[in-house]
Amino acid sequence: VIRFFFFNDTATTEIYTLSLHDALPISMAVLSMIGVPPFVGFVSKWYLAIGGIEAEALGVLGPGGGAMIVGFLLLSSMLNVIYYGPIIVRGWLGVRKGDENISMQGKKGDDPPWIMIIPLIILAMGTRLFGIFPQLQLGLAKAVAEFYF
């Protein structure tokens, strides 16, 4: 939804021509992928880390297995920051003057219809809601796990 909204709204494929309006939906998705609280990506990484540590304590993983899982999760977050950080910084702060490698010839499109905006708003609200109140999704996940296992 965010990708379609972004390309319809900006009428460009150059990420460096973002305005503040364009950067907000992408920022929310990126912050969730990085694992910043209170976004929902933090909750998933938190529970993966707890699961890795508990699996090591129960003897499912060998010595250091839980620490290795936590390390991979931190590495994943750092790589996401390195990869997506410049996109977010340039989207919010703009492009430095004198940067010859970046074209600023992006053409703005028309505002998207409400039928496209409503799913984006629902997605953004759900991301924040599930990040702040993870019990909602965890209760469902536990019920499904108990049913099958």
pLDDT digits 0-9 by tens, 39-61:
888 888 999 999 999 999 988 88
pTM, to two decimals: 0.57
Would you say residue 12 has pLDDT above 60? no
CB-based burial of residue 3 (10 Å sphere; 0-12 exposed, 13-18 middle, 19+ buried)?
exposed
Residue 131's contacts (CB-CB under 8 Å, 6 or more residues apart) are: 32, 37, 38, 39, 40, 41, 42, 43
